Amino acid sequence: MRDMTPDHALAHLSRDLAIALEFSDQGLCRLRIGGQHIVDLEVDDSRESIFIYCRMGTLPGGDVGAGLLVRLMRAHCLGRETARVQFGLDQDDVMAFSRVELRGAADDALRVALEALIELTDQWSRELI
Protein backbone atom coordinates (compact mmCIF):
# COMPACT_ATOMS: atom_id res chain seq x y z
CA MET A 1 0.00 0.00 0.00
CA ARG A 2 1.17 3.48 -0.71
CA ASP A 3 1.08 6.37 1.73
CA MET A 4 -2.06 8.40 1.27
CA THR A 5 -2.41 12.16 1.50
CA PRO A 6 -5.35 13.76 3.33
CA ASP A 7 -6.77 14.93 0.00
CA HIS A 8 -6.58 11.43 -1.49
CA ALA A 9 -8.29 9.97 1.60
CA LEU A 10 -11.07 12.55 1.35
CA ALA A 11 -11.43 11.92 -2.39
CA HIS A 12 -11.98 8.22 -1.67
CA LEU A 13 -14.54 9.10 1.00
CA SER A 14 -16.28 11.46 -1.45
CA ARG A 15 -16.52 8.64 -3.96
CA ASP A 16 -17.78 6.16 -1.36
CA LEU A 17 -20.45 8.58 -0.08
CA ALA A 18 -21.27 9.97 -3.55
CA ILE A 19 -20.95 13.57 -2.34
CA ALA A 20 -18.36 16.21 -3.10
CA LEU A 21 -16.13 16.82 -0.09
CA GLU A 22 -13.06 18.98 0.34
CA PHE A 23 -10.95 20.33 3.14
CA SER A 24 -11.04 24.06 3.91
CA ASP A 25 -7.81 26.07 3.91
CA GLN A 26 -7.58 25.21 7.62
CA GLY A 27 -7.78 21.46 6.90
CA LEU A 28 -11.37 20.99 8.08
CA CYS A 29 -14.34 19.23 6.50
CA ARG A 30 -17.77 19.09 8.17
CA LEU A 31 -20.48 16.53 7.50
CA ARG A 32 -24.06 16.49 8.74
CA ILE A 33 -25.08 12.87 9.23
CA GLY A 34 -28.77 12.00 9.17
CA GLY A 35 -29.76 15.50 10.22
CA GLN A 36 -28.65 14.71 13.79
CA HIS A 37 -24.91 14.63 14.09
CA ILE A 38 -22.21 16.94 12.87
CA VAL A 39 -18.95 15.12 12.20
CA ASP A 40 -15.74 17.02 11.66
CA LEU A 41 -12.72 15.71 9.80
CA GLU A 42 -9.52 17.58 10.58
CA VAL A 43 -6.06 17.10 9.11
CA ASP A 44 -3.40 17.01 11.83
CA ASP A 45 -0.48 19.43 11.58
CA SER A 46 1.89 16.76 10.23
CA ARG A 47 -0.64 15.88 7.47
CA GLU A 48 -0.02 12.20 8.31
CA SER A 49 -3.41 11.57 9.89
CA ILE A 50 -6.98 12.81 10.01
CA PHE A 51 -8.99 13.26 13.18
CA ILE A 52 -12.70 12.45 13.00
CA TYR A 53 -14.84 13.75 15.83
CA CYS A 54 -18.43 14.37 16.81
CA ARG A 55 -20.18 15.99 19.74
CA MET A 56 -22.55 13.39 21.21
CA GLY A 57 -24.29 15.59 23.77
CA THR A 58 -23.92 17.33 27.09
CA LEU A 59 -22.94 15.27 30.11
CA PRO A 60 -25.82 15.28 32.60
CA GLY A 61 -25.09 16.57 36.08
CA GLY A 62 -25.08 14.71 39.34
CA ASP A 63 -25.28 10.95 39.77
CA VAL A 64 -26.68 10.42 36.27
CA GLY A 65 -23.62 12.01 34.66
CA ALA A 66 -21.22 10.23 37.01
CA GLY A 67 -22.83 6.89 36.19
CA LEU A 68 -22.68 7.60 32.48
CA LEU A 69 -18.98 8.47 32.71
CA VAL A 70 -18.29 5.15 34.43
CA ARG A 71 -20.15 3.29 31.66
CA LEU A 72 -18.34 5.25 28.93
CA MET A 73 -14.94 4.53 30.44
CA ARG A 74 -15.70 0.82 30.87
CA ALA A 75 -16.81 0.58 27.25
CA HIS A 76 -13.74 2.53 26.19
CA CYS A 77 -11.21 0.49 28.21
CA LEU A 78 -8.95 -1.40 25.78
CA GLY A 79 -11.49 -0.73 23.03
CA ARG A 80 -13.81 -3.38 24.51
CA GLU A 81 -16.96 -1.89 23.02
CA THR A 82 -15.59 0.98 21.00
CA ALA A 83 -12.88 -0.50 18.75
CA ARG A 84 -10.79 2.49 17.67
CA VAL A 85 -13.28 5.18 18.63
CA GLN A 86 -12.45 7.03 21.83
CA PHE A 87 -14.46 9.25 24.15
CA GLY A 88 -13.48 12.55 25.69
CA LEU A 89 -14.89 15.66 27.30
CA ASP A 90 -14.73 19.14 25.80
CA GLN A 91 -16.05 21.28 28.66
CA ASP A 92 -19.32 19.41 29.43
CA ASP A 93 -19.72 18.02 25.91
CA VAL A 94 -19.09 14.32 25.42
CA MET A 95 -17.12 13.76 22.24
CA ALA A 96 -16.44 10.66 20.16
CA PHE A 97 -13.24 10.77 18.15
CA SER A 98 -10.89 8.67 16.10
CA ARG A 99 -7.57 9.17 14.38
CA VAL A 100 -6.94 7.71 10.93
CA GLU A 101 -3.25 7.20 10.19
CA LEU A 102 -2.64 7.73 6.48
CA ARG A 103 0.70 5.93 6.19
CA GLY A 104 -0.10 2.58 4.56
CA ALA A 105 -3.86 3.15 4.89
CA ALA A 106 -6.32 1.31 2.69
CA ASP A 107 -8.41 3.37 0.29
CA ASP A 108 -11.50 2.86 2.46
CA ALA A 109 -9.81 3.61 5.82
CA LEU A 110 -11.51 6.97 6.28
CA ARG A 111 -14.96 5.57 5.44
CA VAL A 112 -14.50 2.60 7.78
CA ALA A 113 -13.45 4.90 10.63
CA LEU A 114 -16.34 7.28 9.91
CA GLU A 115 -18.86 4.43 9.94
CA ALA A 116 -17.54 3.15 13.28
CA LEU A 117 -17.73 6.63 14.80
CA ILE A 118 -21.28 7.19 13.54
CA GLU A 119 -22.43 3.83 14.87
CA LEU A 120 -21.08 4.56 18.36
CA THR A 121 -22.33 8.13 18.26
CA ASP A 122 -25.84 6.91 17.45
CA GLN A 123 -25.69 4.38 20.28
CA TRP A 124 -24.25 6.60 23.01
CA SER A 125 -25.86 9.94 22.14
CA ARG A 126 -29.27 8.47 23.12
CA GLU A 127 -27.86 8.21 26.63
CA LEU A 128 -27.17 11.94 26.65
CA ILE A 129 -30.55 13.23 25.50
Contact of 121 with 55, CB cutoff 8 Å = no
- Calculate the alpha carbon distances from 102 to 36, 59, 83, 86, 107 in Å: 28, 32, 18, 18, 10
CATH number, domain 6-128: 3.30.1460.10
Segments in the chain below pLDDT 70: 1-2, 129
How high is the pLDDT of residue 35? 77
CB-side neighbour CA atoms (13 Å) of 106: 5
How high is the pLDDT of residue 2? 62
How high is the pLDDT of residue 128? 72
pLDDT in tens, 36-65: 789 999 999 999 999 999 999 888 999 999
Global pTM value = 0.88
Neighbours of 98 (CB within 10 A): 22
Q: What is the mean pLDDT of the chain?
A: 90
Closest CA relative to residue 111, chosen from 96, 122, 98 = 98
